[in-house]
Amino acid sequence: MTLILTALPGMPYVRPGDDLVELVLQALERANLNLMDGDILVLAQKIVSKAENRLVNLSTIQPSSRAEIIATQIEKDPRLVELILSESSEILRIRPGTIVVEHKLGFVCANAGIDHSNVAGEGGLEGEWVLLLPENPDKSASTIRSTLEVKFGVRIGVMIIDSHGRAWRQGTVGSAIGLSGLPGLLDLRGQPDLFGYTLRVTTVGVSDELAAAASLLMGQAAEGTPAVHVRGFPYALVEGSLKELLRPKEMDLFR
SS3 164: strand
Q: Give exposure, 191-209, as e/b (b: 16+ Cβ within 10 Å).
A: eeeeeeeeeeeeeebbbbe
User: What per-residue confidence (pLDDT) applies to 126?
Assistant: 53
pLDDT per residue as tens digits for the range 208-239: 999 999 999 998 655 689 999 999 999 999 99
User: What per-residue confidence (pLDDT) applies to 127?
Assistant: 56
User: What per-residue confidence (pLDDT) applies to 223?
Assistant: 65
- pTM reported for the whole predicted model: 0.92
Residues 26 and 12: their CA atoms lie apart, in Å, by 10
Residues of the chain below pLDDT 70: 117-127, 220-223
Q: What is the distance in angstroms between the CA of the first residue and the CA of the last residue of the chain?
A: 39
User: What per-residue confidence (pLDDT) applies to 200?
Assistant: 81
User: What per-residue confidence (pLDDT) applies to 204?
Assistant: 87
User: What per-residue confidence (pLDDT) applies to 155?
Assistant: 97
- Domains of the chain, each with CATH number or no CATH: 18-52+143-245 (3.30.1330.100), 55-131 (3.90.1660.10)
CB atoms near residue 124 (< 10 Å): 9
User: What per-residue confidence (pLDDT) applies to 167?
Assistant: 83
User: What per-residue confidence (pLDDT) applies to 219?
Assistant: 81
